[in-house]
Structure 1
Amino acid sequence: MRLFDEHVVLRFALLLACFLFAESIPDILNFTEHVYNFIPYFLAIVFLAYVALFYKFPMDGRKIRNDVEIPEPKVVEPIRDLRKDLLEKDEMFQMMIDVSSDGFWTFDVASGKVYWSNRIAKLLATDSASLEDSFEPLKKRVIESDWNAFREQLNAALQTSGTFSCTLTLLDASKKNMKLVISGRVQSNNLGRPIRVIGSLTEALDRKSVEREHYNYVYQDALTGVYNRKYFLEKLKTDVDIAAKRPDYVFAVALLDIDSFGAINASYSIKIGDNVLRTIADRLKSIARPDDCVARIGPDVFAVILHNIQSRDPNDDLIPLVRNIHNKVKSPISLEGKDLYISVSMSIVVNQDVDCVEDILANANASLRDMKKGINHGGIQFFSGGIREKAMKLYKLEFEIRRAIQAQEFVLMYQPIVDIQAGNKIVGFEALVRWNQSERGIISPAEFIPIAEETGLIVPMGALILRMACKQTKQWVDMGYKDIQVAVNFSAKQFSMDSMVDDVRRVLTETNLNPRNLKLEITEYTAMCEADKTIEIMRALSNMGIQISIDDFGTGYSSLSYLKRYPVHTLKMDKYFVDHVADNEEDASFARMVIGIAKSLNLDLIAEGVETKEQLDFLYREGCHLIQGFYFSRPLNTDMALEYMKEHYNVPTQGSSFETEPEAVKA
């Protein structure tokens, strides 16, 4: 902002001049006598005053007014290099021609010269250097009748300034005929005279070729090149229909499932996984007989329909055949300089066992599922009737579990955990789920937990169990048992969920339970899965005030170096190692080792499955004081658990009979 305006200063100076001029009028002047002499003075004063007050001074071009908005100056476009633009367009046009699957040509009428694109050399099965600037290269490569037809259509188009298209039969080096389609359009000047012809040359796809491409698109697996699920089901339906009319028509269906294929993708890469699928598909195609059908029907599942089974006993033909296929497929795969060892489970169903597509696939899948869960994992299994019945039973059980979760038919039992060093005082419970089914009554968890794990139903079931346990524990705390702890088991699937910590926090908030009254138990196997992620989850839970317990410690393959990093509070020694501590020195040595590990890491240790006084005496002498097992109590319902707490929560800790005389301990 300027400190003064020169125009204002000038106006002020003119007004000052008016005043000084008026003061300089001679005093001897008499206005009445010399009025004519006064007029010049008066006009001069009026003129100066008018200029000072009303005159608009012109703008100086070098100055910018600050009372108006000056538009931004327009950007002057640089002068374009038209020659360079034309060259760039020609290069772009040439690139488009080169990448096209069609060949392009132009014919200059005045000079008679022909320009051929590089693609035409490939279509004519020759090299670019041999392409002359005439139609001779084309004439040499097509049969005479087609060449004459082309010339006639070209001349007719030049007369009418129209278009043309004709098919040429090309003789390649192996003397096999190949069809090409040559097309052209005539370009004329203002007078209607033809000046050039612009045309294309491309392969002629006959109807069979088009149908073949469509067939491959519909029925071929894009990744592996074998048939897809759609073709497999249609082919299987055809075979079933034939077998219905011909009792002697026998075929078999083999399903091959790549074991732990997800781990291959996770450990290596999806690219490696795709290469594994391609390799297995190639191996199946190479070993399959001409009449067999190889298809990929799932992400990591292949199917083979085996025909030409002639023996009275189909197994006589099938056993050596499927063994050969299985051995071929599961052999190591060399990828990126490394040998990758894979396991493949294979199930076989013969059409004599069933009479429809759905049953064949259901039986094959049931056999495959049963094998992957059993000791024959990664082997070969022929379908038998018992497998299907077992699969149907499991399916029914899965359905009933889903219904039971919605109906809240699951109940909790509570097995006490006591401190024998504190007079057998109860310090907590382990919450154990039971299924109170309306028809069958109480069902053992050994019957439904594995199915829940396999189907993923363990996640909603686990959420229900956690909520029930927290709600019951809160009631006991409000009754005055403020130090009681309830342990809830978490499965590997639950513990691996990204929302796990938030879900636990939400349940604690809804039930208003203090986190110190809750203990979460995970198995040693769960703890070792994705160790870094597990440790992060454990720390988040521990920071909330929740204690973490490692269940079945000693049955897995944990590393003590990892265990030191875990924010763990308690180890639970499995019943398997407690059963014979009193009569087997090897088990006793292992129990001592576990007790020593817990002491060295400053962790609590709970011995599970204690049933005899001899076991209890051994554990007491070795320094394991937290006991869980039938020796003290079986799992109790809610009311019985409350009665147990009333008797064993407030007990004297000094001079207990067990401290002075271990043999006197009673259940």
Structure 2
Amino acid sequence: MGLPTWLFYDHPEAYVRAFDVAGKKWSIVVSTAPHFFIGGNDNALWALLVGVLFSFGAAGYLQMIVTRSRRIQMLVDERTMQLRTANQDLVADIAARKHAEQELQLRDRAIEASANAIIITSAEGPDYGIEYVNPAFERITGYAEEEALGRNIDFLWQRDSEQPGIEELRACLQEQREGQAVMRNYRKDGTLLWSDMYIAPVRDDYGRVSHYVIAQYDITATKRYESELEFQTNRDSLTGLANRTLLRDRLSQAISYAYRYNHPIWVLFIDLDRFKFVNDTLGHQAGDILLKAVASRMNSVVRDTDTISRMGGDEFVVVLPERTDSGLSTSIVRRLMDAIAQPLTIEGHEFFISSSVGVSVYPADGVEPETLIKHADIAMYRAKETGRNNFQFYTSEMNERALERLRIEGDLRLAIERDEFLLYYQPQVDLVSKKIIGVEALIRWQHPELGMVPPARFISLAEETGLIVPIGNWVIREACRQSKVWQDEGFIGLRTAVNLSARQFAQQNLVQSIQDALTATSLLPASLEIELTESLVMADVEQAIGILRDMKTLGVQLSIDDFGTGYSSLSYLKRFPIDVLKIDRSFVNDITTDPDDAAIVTSIISLAHSLRLSVIAEGVETREQLDYLQQHGCDQIQGYFFSRPVTAEVMTQMLRDGTRLQLTDDQPA
């Protein structure tokens, strides 16, 4: 049975091979599939078998070649992929390296361009030598790089080694940690450099510290600003003394210490006498110069442990805590007063400034800062009331007077509006004619509840508050009005004297205000006499001479009151355009018992006559005083021996009656 002559195959891996077997043409289907079919046109079995065997061998060979080719191709593809991946990694690595280099360059430029100093030190102690500094370090410290390399950073604080920040930096090095410290460094030229320093360790791949990086920030300007803020908060901007805030803090600390060790504290309240006169005559700039000079003088007297504070204006408070090596005594107060009282020249003018001081003592006068200051203030006002230029210790009675003073001050502001003031007049008598030739106008206050308030209780208060200016202007106008009344009654030669205070004398429009009073009342100028104290005109001689000359042009009379108590010299006295010298009552009181006072009175009378001036003695109360004055050529007297101050009505009646000085035993009371 012959083989089929047909052949079919349907496997995609099959292919046909044609060859001759026994002269016959055969087509063999060779396939890599598990089944195959062959076919031909001959039924010779041998030929078929040979063909089949050959086909199998060829197919296996071909299969081997194909498999190997594929394996090689896969290997090539795999290697190609690996090369491609390696190339991509290499490109990425190169890019990363370039980026890292750029970042390093950027960081290096940033360090080089930094406005703050950067310092890199070795981690090897004990020197921790500097290995790098940036240009900012050179600019900030003044040290060149070569001057810093290899050195320990402690050369920046020189001998200023007592700083908490130094211990912090050393601890950071020893403990290999980060830290921060504010320190006082010093530049190469020795100037102070405040630095905020940050330190951080640099670790290698194994975590070991190899270096330290220190960032140094220059905070000198910030510290200076903080100091200015602290100064403004706690110090008086003009004098540099402690202000109220710092005073209370210091006094509180002193009280705590004094309580613990049972020590006393003295609190002094100091007020400059007649400071307003300087301000009003030369201006506030001159006043500021005086205040700074006084502050400097007081600082030179007190101890380092004492505190001086300016409370405002011309008021100062001094805290004197007791130390173990020295107690507290009044000599400290006197040293302060003497230092203040030294002559002071301002803008070519010489001033003599005294002070009034009140003293309170802890714990007797209070245990709280506010209480001690208040009581010292009260004692200071008592010192002013007793004549100024002295000191007083606080007493409980002073508190009652202080309360009364507050009441009087409030009422005083309304006294002019309520028309509560009136003038009394004390006659002045000529010792030759024995007639009344003048009067001195003296203010009184008719208080609706307190009754008649004497000048001693309110004049000094009016001076301090500035109310003396409107009160003084009222006195001038009222005196001119009453003098005009007497003038109209025929007492043409009668002279009315009015005292001027320092505050009035300092008025810019003083001369004009006097002129206005004369004009308003139509009073003859020669009937008005302006009295000024010797100390007032001597405070600023040149200024006083100019004002006196301006007043003299009005036609009024001028006199120097309380003569002999100030600092006059003959050269100055000759330049004053004055008409009368008044001998102070302090010399007249003991004229018959004290040879020195008698000699002074005699000298004043002689001096006045040599200058063609009239002399009037005030405070004459006895026949013996009168006799002495008359014997030595005194021109006029004023005092209780002839008459106390009286109302305008009584004075008018005395003028109408022609009352004279009677040198008999029954003198008027």
How does the TM-score come out when normalised to structure 1? 0.56
Does the alignment pair 1:403 with 2:414?
yes
Does the alignment pair 1:287 with 2:287?
no
Which of these residues, 249, 254, 261, is aligned with residue 267 of structure 2?
254
Which of these residues, 373, 378, 391, is aligned with residue 361 of structure 1?
373
Tell me if the contact between 1:613 and 1:665 (Cα under 8 Å) persists in the aligned partners: no
Residues 469 and 589 (structure 1 numbering): CA distance in 2 closer, same or farther, change over 3 Å? same
Paired residues for 1:23-38 under 5 Å:
none
Secondary structure at the counterpart of residue 602 of structure 1: coil
In structure 2, the partner of 1:412 is: 423
Q: Distance in 2 between matches of 1:568 and 1:519?
A: 10
Which of these residues, 539, 542, 548, is aligned with residue 549 of structure 2?
539
- Whichever residue aligns with residue 389 of structure 1, its letter is E
Q: Quick check: 570-579 or 409-418, which moved more?
A: 570-579
Does the alignment pair 1:441 with 2:458?
no
Residues 401 and 212 (structure 1 numbering): CA distance in 2 closer, same or farther, change over 3 Å? closer
Does the alignment pair 1:229 with 2:247?
no
Q: Distance in 2 between matches of 1:454 and 1:646?
A: 40
Tell me if the contact between 1:180 and 1:202 (Cα under 8 Å) persists in the aligned partners: yes
Secondary structure at the counterpart of residue 577 of structure 2: coil
Secondary structure at the counterpart of residue 548 of structure 1: strand
Does the alignment pair 1:429 with 2:447?
no
Q: Distance in 1 between matches of 2:286 and 2:616?
A: 40
Q: Note the C-alpha offset of 1:463.
A: 1.3
Paired residues for 1:192-591 under 5 Å:
202-203=217-218, 218-219=233-234, 228-233=243-248, 254-255=267-268, 257=270, 274=292, 277=295, 286-287=304-305, 297-298=311-312, 301-302=316-317, 304=319, 320=327, 347-350=359-362, 353-354=365-366, 358-371=370-383, 383-422=394-433, 424-578=434-588, 590-591=600-601
Secondary structure at the counterpart of residue 416 of structure 2: helix
Paired residues for 1:617-632 under 5 Å:
619-632=629-642
Residues 207 and 277 (structure 1 numbering): CA distance in 2 closer, same or farther, change over 3 Å? closer
Q: Note the C-alpha offset of 1:375.
A: 9.0
Q: Note the C-alpha offset of 1:351.
A: 5.6
In structure 1, the partner of 2:143 is: 126
Secondary structure at the counterpart of residue 411 of structure 1: strand
Secondary structure at the counterpart of residue 551 of structure 2: helix
Q: Distance in 2 between matches of 1:254 and 1:590?
A: 40
Secondary structure at the counterpart of residue 406 of structure 1: coil
Secondary structure at the counterpart of residue 320 of structure 1: coil
Tell me if the contact between 1:259 and 1:343 (Cα under 8 Å) persists in the aligned partners: yes
Residues 497 and 131 (structure 1 numbering): CA distance in 2 closer, same or farther, change over 3 Å? same
Q: Note the C-alpha offset of 1:470.
A: 0.6
Residues 273 and 407 (structure 1 numbering): CA distance in 2 closer, same or farther, change over 3 Å? closer
Q: Note the C-alpha offset of 1:305.
A: 8.8
Q: Note the C-alpha offset of 1:331.
A: 10
Tell me if the contact between 1:326 and 1:344 (Cα under 8 Å) persists in the aligned partners: no
- Whichever residue aligns with residue 647 of structure 1, its letter is D
Q: Note the C-alpha offset of 1:637.
A: 1.6
Q: Distance in 1 between matches of 2:300 and 2:585?
A: 50
Q: Distance in 2 between matches of 1:597 and 1:645?
A: 32
Q: Which runs of 5+ in 2 are unaligned?
A: 1-113, 119-131, 157-177, 187-192, 200-214, 343-352
Q: Distance in 2 between matches of 1:329 and 1:579?
A: 32
- Cα displacement string for residues 461-489 of structure 1 (whole angstroms, at most 9, x for unaligned residues): 21111111111111222233333221111
Q: Note the C-alpha offset of 1:127.
A: 2.9
Q: Distance in 2 between matches of 1:601 and 1:223?
A: 45
Tell me if the contact between 1:250 and 1:352 (Cα under 8 Å) persists in the aligned partners: no
Q: Note the C-alpha offset of 1:430.
A: 1.6
Q: Distance in 2 between matches of 1:279 and 1:563?
A: 31
Residues 577 and 476 (structure 1 numbering): CA distance in 2 closer, same or farther, change over 3 Å? same
Give the alignment's Cα RMSD to 1 decimal: 5.7
Residues 508 and 238 (structure 1 numbering): CA distance in 2 closer, same or farther, change over 3 Å? same
Secondary structure at the counterpart of residue 462 of structure 1: helix
Secondary structure at the counterpart of residue 365 of structure 1: helix
Residues 587 and 378 (structure 1 numbering): CA distance in 2 closer, same or farther, change over 3 Å? closer
- Cα displacement string for residues 63-122 of structure 1 (whole angstroms, at most 9, x for unaligned residues): xxxxxxxxxxxxxxxxxxxxxxxxxxxxxxxxxxxxxx95699xxxxxxxx9976x6425
Q: Note the C-alpha offset of 1:582.
A: 6.6
Q: Distance in 2 between matches of 1:281 and 1:579?
A: 41
Residues 535 and 317 (structure 1 numbering): CA distance in 2 closer, same or farther, change over 3 Å? same
Tell me if the contact between 1:416 and 1:426 (Cα under 8 Å) persists in the aligned partners: yes
Tell me if the contact between 2:297 and 2:339 (Cα under 8 Å) persists in the aligned partners: no
- Whichever residue aligns with residue 489 of structure 2, its letter is M
Q: Distance in 1 between matches of 2:530 and 2:495?
A: 10
- Cα displacement string for residues 233-272 of structure 1 (whole angstroms, at most 9, x for unaligned residues): 46778999x99xx999999573464867969999999679
Q: Distance in 1 between matches of 2:335 and 2:631?
A: 58
Tell me if the contact between 2:308 and 2:318 (Cα under 8 Å) persists in the aligned partners: yes
Q: Distance in 2 between matches of 1:275 and 1:413?
A: 42
Secondary structure at the counterpart of residue 504 of structure 2: helix
Tell me if the contact between 1:332 and 1:342 (Cα under 8 Å) persists in the aligned partners: no
- Whichever residue aligns with residue 486 of structure 1, its letter is T
Secondary structure at the counterpart of residue 607 of structure 1: strand
- Whichever residue aligns with residue 466 of structure 1, its letter is I
Q: Distance in 1 between matches of 2:395 and 2:626?
A: 48
Q: Distance in 2 between matches of 1:172 and 1:549?
A: 66
How does the TM-score come out when normalised to structure 2? 0.56
Q: Note the C-alpha offset of 1:438.
A: 2.0
Q: Note the C-alpha offset of 1:518.
A: 0.7
